[in-house]
A and B are shown apart, each in its own frame.
Chain A
Amino acid sequence: MVTARHYEERLQEEYLEGKQPAFDISAGPIPGELHLAAGQEAAGAGVCQHLRDDDTVTAPHRPHHVAIAKGVDLKRMTAEIFGRETGLGKGKGGHMHLFDPEVNFACSGIIAEGCPPAAGAALAAKKRNTDSVAVAYLGEGAIDQGAFLESLNFAAVRDLPVVFVIEDNDWAISMPKERVTDVEVGSDRADGFDMPGRRVDADDAVAVYDAAREAVGRARDRNGPTLLELQVHRRMGHFMGDPETYRPDEDQEAAAARDSIERLAEDLRAAGVDDARLSDLRADAEARVEEAIEWANEQPKPAPAAAHEDMWVNPGTGVTDSEPDFDLAGGDD
């Protein structure tokens, strides 16, 4: 969690470098949109602690905390965000399209569209009779998308080992959820699909951990899918450069005041972990982030001609480039 928080804060600094005095979205070391997840760390760590490398995770456009929790290669992920040749996608994906097949992590920039592939990964696990599971993350703004609702039904009717995790940060860019969704609790959507659903306040990382253990365990034991909703907070704008003029000051202040990391630190202190140990954990996490950013900044940019590569895994012709010489005389033509 502290790795993810520090990562987002440092990316914010790197992102804004070169975007002064006038904000030009494509300028600076990190071009393009950047959706940071500060305030949502417990949702990543609390769930992914229960996952193995062979479990599949799909995340949406705000993916860093989940990727870090899943064990995605932090250096190559950072290099990808910086658009470098050694990035996870050789600079072709960017921060919304991170793929690390080593730990079965993928994310997509289209709202709720990570849900069907996660169901598919779960389907593959079931067909292969393994005990791996899949987890699909989505924001609360995604719960009205067909892709999500179709996936709930598909997972339920096939008893797929998948957990759907709604991260409810209250805001879909500028849209508060009560203006677009007529249920207060998003996980109640599960009722309509004959699936267990549960909402947890993710200010309490331990509560997330406990709820996820049950949901992931249910999937791993082949007892079917679960829908979890985790109340998180968006400490930053939707994307960097978002003026958040739509957002009341008190909402921002409340989000800043409710910090799952500080709360977890208090819980740990209460459990007997001393401050020196917590400081060491923070220092280690920060050093890891600094190392990744430093490494990424040193990586070469892709050669322009590389834009023409990686269209296919096989040759365009498929698995063959020649046709057998059959004599089909006597056919139609």
Chain B
Amino acid sequence: MSETVDRERAIDRELTMSRAMVEAIATEMRDDEEVFYMGEDVADYGGIFDSTQGLREEFGYDRVMDVPISETAYLGAAVGAAQEGMRPIAELMFVDFFGVAMDQIYNQMAKNTYMSGGNVSVPMVLTAAVGGTYNDAAQHSQTLYGTFAHVPGMKVVVPSTAYEAKGLMHNAIRDDDPVVYMFHKRLMGIGWLPAPDGPKTPVPEEAYTIPFGSADVKREGADATIVTLGLHVHRALDAAESLSEAGIDAEVIDLRSLVPLDTDTIVESIEKTGALVVVDEDYRSYGVTGEIVASVADEALGALDAVERVAIPDVPIPYSRPLENEVVPDADDIEAAVTRTQ
């Protein structure tokens, strides 16, 4: 591990996830003129989900670019600029909008390095707001974690706290490979979309990088392993608190990236607890939960005594509050799943 830092200062300063994400972007933009941000409503508005607050004021319209509502054109332009060696960050306002631009994402951005035999690099970051829990219905509430992680060629990262948001963003911008950075709207700390307590954390003022493929054990426990990401890290931690009152000691693993996937940390935990509960805000079938269970089975089938999956059932995310609450996993759902494994 690296040198000790000024711990007092780090502990003193707490940021929202949005502030931490923007701080990393601003630092990289100051250090490297080749870094720029493109998206819809990212300049004067500052990002619908506060992903670019204050950037236009510091860097101007040339480097914080509002674009036409033409995701194919501007995501593809990011691919082209990245292949010229610039370091664009391009934002999908909602990840749900990927459908109108998926060719540039999965056929161009993700494949050009491989198809060129490694002769072409695409050093761009695709940021995307993800997630539901605020009644925005089926076309504005998805995470689509599994969709992006499924197609080879994109590193896929999902911060759960301000600390992770900053460190993962620094690594994403500096990486010469395309990185999809999926930030959960409910975690950003937006005035009109209150965050739970968890994502606002101490954040060091200096720049630092968190490696991809490195899951973080957010809570240690001996009886069951909850593997999750994004918003559901916090719901899992809530569930773990309740479970501890019932005498069940749950470990909570925050994946932090889906590509690469840190299977080692999960397997190590399973060898201790024997019980795997995968929690995800994506669809249940052919998705993240199935992949995690399969990966653990590949490596440590014998250690698995019990398996549970908690995910969105295979329906579009409904609008009305009781309907959405029914399908998006909450702490009670996680608690019940863990209890079933015991």
Contacts and interface: CB of A to CB of B under 8 A. Distances in A.
Q: Which 9 A-B pairs have the closest CB atoms?
A: A116-B76, A120-B80, A117-B80, A90-B117, A120-B77, A150-B73, A99-B116, A150-B70, A325-B1
Contacts of A333: 198, 218-219, 237
Contacts of A215: none
Interface of A: 56, 58, 87-93, 97, 99-101, 104, 106, 108, 110, 113, 115-125, 127-128, 134, 146-147, 150-151, 153-154, 157, 309-314, 316-333
A313 B113 contact: yes
Contacts of B5: 324, 326
Contact of B84 (A90, A124, A317, A324): A124
Interface string B180-210: 0000000000000000011111101000111
Nearest to A145: B72
Given A153-B73, A316-B260, A118 B86 contact: no
A106 B79 CA distance: 12
Contacts of A127: 36, 62, 81, 86
A295 to B, nearest CB: 17
A137 to B, nearest CB: 14
Interface of A is mostly: loop
A58 B80 CA distance: 10
B80 A113 contact: no
Q: Pick from A100, A113, A319, A333 the residue with the most CB of B within 10 Å.
A: A333
B167 interface: yes
B112 A106 contact: yes
A153 B176 CA distance: 29
Interface stretch (B118-126, B271-279, B296-304): B118-126
B117 A327 contact: no
Given A327-B7, A328-B11, A93 B117 contact: yes
A44 to B, nearest CB: 20
Nearest to A302: B117
A18 to B, nearest CB: 24
16 contacts: A106-B120, A113-B103, A116-B76, A117-B76, A119-B76, A120-B82, A127-B62, A146-B100, A153-B70, A313-B176, A316-B155, A320-B171, A323-B214, A328-B11, A330-B11, A333-B218
B201 A92 contact: no
Interface string B143-172: 000000000110100000101000100011
B170 to A, nearest CB: 8
A121 B121 CA distance: 14
A318 B121 CA distance: 13
Interface of B: 1-2, 4-5, 7, 10-11, 14, 36, 62, 67-68, 70, 72-86, 88, 100, 103-104, 107-108, 111-121, 123, 152-153, 155, 161, 163, 167, 171-172, 174-177, 179, 197-202, 204, 208-214, 218-219, 234, 237, 259-260
B204 A321 contact: no
Contact of A319 (B88, B174, B214, B237): B174
A290 to B, nearest CB: 25
A271 B234 CA distance: 79
Given A99-B119, A147-B76, A314-B175, A319 B36 contact: no
